[in-house]
Amino acid sequence: MHDKHSRALAALLGLAALPAFAADGASETELRELVRQQAEQLRLQSAQLQALSRRLEALEGGAAAGPAAAPDPVRAQVDAAIAETRQDDLAILQAQVAQLAAGGGSGGGNTSWRRGGPELRNGDRSFTFHPRGRVVADFSTTRGSAFDDRNIGGTEMRQVRLGAEGRIGALGYKVDAEFADNDVSIKDAYLSWDTRLGALPAEFYVGNKLKDRSIDGATTLTRTPFMERNAVASVGAPDSGYFGLGAQMKLIGQNWHYSLGLTGDDIGNSGTESDSMTWITRAHWNPVKRPAGFLHLGGWYVYEDFGRDVERINKVPRIASNFNDNVRVSASAIADVTRERIWGAELGGTWRSFWAFGEYAERTIASASADDFAQKASSFYAGWLITGEKPGFSARSGVWGTTRVARPVTDGGIGAWELAARFDRYDFTDAARGGEGDAWTLGVNWYLNDWSRLMLNYVRWSTDNQVGDYRGHDTGDTVNVRAQVVF
């Protein structure tokens, strides 16, 4: 008797969880199957209760000829259980019908909040729509240079973007428009297709997309641990830029990924000359991958055949901040360029709340009127999330991802705090008048929640340029501050 009452209670508790299960976005098939299972449990429980009731009635009938029996407390409990079960069954089934009706027969639509913005989706999530946007505001000041024109400060809207992304079954899309320097440009604008090649997940992209090249180079700026990408991402960038308009694919294994792409110039090409054609490939492998962390090994290669409109290259990357155009390392101009080859290597990993990586890149530029020229860069950087969160690095794709904040400020917590340090080396001395430089960066990041953070970077830099307005050895100090919201 006790066991039967326990089974009845378990069945009722399972039914009570049905509306919550439906609200979590279960498909119509899953919901109907759960309803069928629970209905079967109710049918069996009802049959057991009715059989027990008949047995009690038979006992009562056998005792009717004797003296009048006292009220049976067991029979009263059974009658009450049957009445309560029927009443609860009716209420629960009514709730299930209402849930199905609200979904219009498709399992129920809903809206969730993803990285600070709403994501609209239907019940089985075969259709999604997520408005995107970001606001990144910077302040920068430089002091200590021997050249007064380098000792400047000011504010800058580093990035302002609006766009959208979503899915229609296996087909995905993403569009981002950037508003900067009083101009509008298109950044990400592509279609994607998720499928499988054999047993492995595969992703295909057509359109304008960030190229998969180096760790920082393949990561969107708002996710890197420092305000600016490192030297390897800058020096190792092909002449056509960080983005390319064309086709790319990515194959994903359990502890590795491989990508291949063929792109032309980015979406802003004027169309008066043929594009530069760029082949790019990258792979990473995690020989050690545990819940506490992983080891990362990676490499990449770029081959770019220049279009006729590319006649000379003069690499002069910023070394202190995006705001200060005067603090740069000069590589000296290379004329009559025809093609370039770039390769890079990556080594690093994460362990609990710590992370560390090292990267190297070498770019070789071919000229029709001179020997090939090599440009080199190296970056070493490490960090510690002192509040205990795991580093926001994706072992799946080998790029920086979202740092998941355990105690968001918006929920009354302290957010996530991160300390980081980096050393960058720029070496253009293979050219006759090529310069060199290095930079030490110390950073403090405060993640208020998963989609907003404040950043403070101190940069101690030095340059030794052989051409331009700032020749000779020079050093200085730059302080950068950033506030960003990304949704």
Same domain membership, residue 266 and residue 377:
yes
Cα distance between residue 470 and residue 481, in whole Å = 25
Residue 28 vs residues 21, 24, 95, 104, 353: alpha-carbon distances, Å: 11, 12, 14, 10, 41
Q: Which of 70, 102, 134 is the last residue of a domain?
A: 102
Q: Which of 102, 133, 164 is the last residue of a domain?
A: 102
Same domain membership, residue 375 and residue 294:
yes
Same domain membership, residue 227 and residue 359:
yes
Domain count, the chain: 2
Same domain membership, residue 134 and residue 21:
no
Same domain membership, residue 377 and residue 335:
yes
The reply to whether 341 falls in a domain is yes
The reply to whether 127 falls in a domain is yes
Tokens for 122, please give them: 């239907």
Question: How many CB atoms neighbour CB 472 within 10 A?
Answer: 11
- Residue 115 contacts residue 484 (beta carbons within 8 Å): no
Cα distance between residue 380 and residue 421, in whole Å = 8
Residue 242 vs residues 208, 236, 401: alpha-carbon distances, Å: 10, 10, 18
Tokens for 119, please give them: 């994501």
The reply to whether 220 falls in a domain is yes
Same domain membership, residue 195 and residue 91:
no
Tokens for 107, please give them: 């399992």
The reply to whether 43 falls in a domain is yes
Q: Which of 102, 132, 164 is the last residue of a domain?
A: 102
Same domain membership, residue 222 and residue 158:
yes
The reply to whether 113 falls in a domain is no
Tell me the whole-structure pTM to 2 decimals. 0.78
Cα distance between residue 102 and residue 118, in whole Å = 20
Tokens for 71, please give them: 């009220």
Taking only the tens of pLDDT, the chain with its 487 residues reads 444 444 444 444 444 444 444 444 444 455 556 656 666 666 676 676 666 666 656 655 554 445 555 556 656 665 665 556 555 555 555 555 455 444 444 445 578 876 678 889 887 888 999 999 999 999 999 999 999 999 999 999 999 999 999 999 999 999 999 998 778 899 999 999 999 999 999 999 999 999 999 999 999 999 999 999 999 999 999 999 999 999 999 999 999 999 999 999 888 777 778 899 999 999 999 999 999 999 999 999 999 999 999 999 999 999 999 999 999 999 989 999 999 999 999 999 999 999 999 999 999 999 999 999 999 999 999 999 999 999 999 999 999 999 999 999 999 999 999 999 999 999 999 999 999 999 999 999 999 999 999 999 999 999 999 999 999 999 999 999 999 999 9
The reply to whether 437 falls in a domain is yes
Cα distance between residue 38 and residue 48, in whole Å = 15
The CATH number linked to 462 is: 2.40.160.10
Cα distance between residue 467 and residue 469, in whole Å = 7
Same domain membership, residue 234 and residue 381:
yes
Same domain membership, residue 249 and residue 211:
yes
Same domain membership, residue 186 and residue 97:
no
The reply to whether 271 falls in a domain is yes
The reply to whether 115 falls in a domain is no
Same domain membership, residue 303 and residue 413:
yes
**Cα–Cα–Cα angle for 110, 111, 112, rounded to 5 degrees:** 125
- Residue 447 contacts residue 416 (beta carbons within 8 Å): yes
Same domain membership, residue 91 and residue 194:
no
In single-letter form, the type of residue at position 473 comes to H
Q: Which domain holds residue 76?
A: 2-102
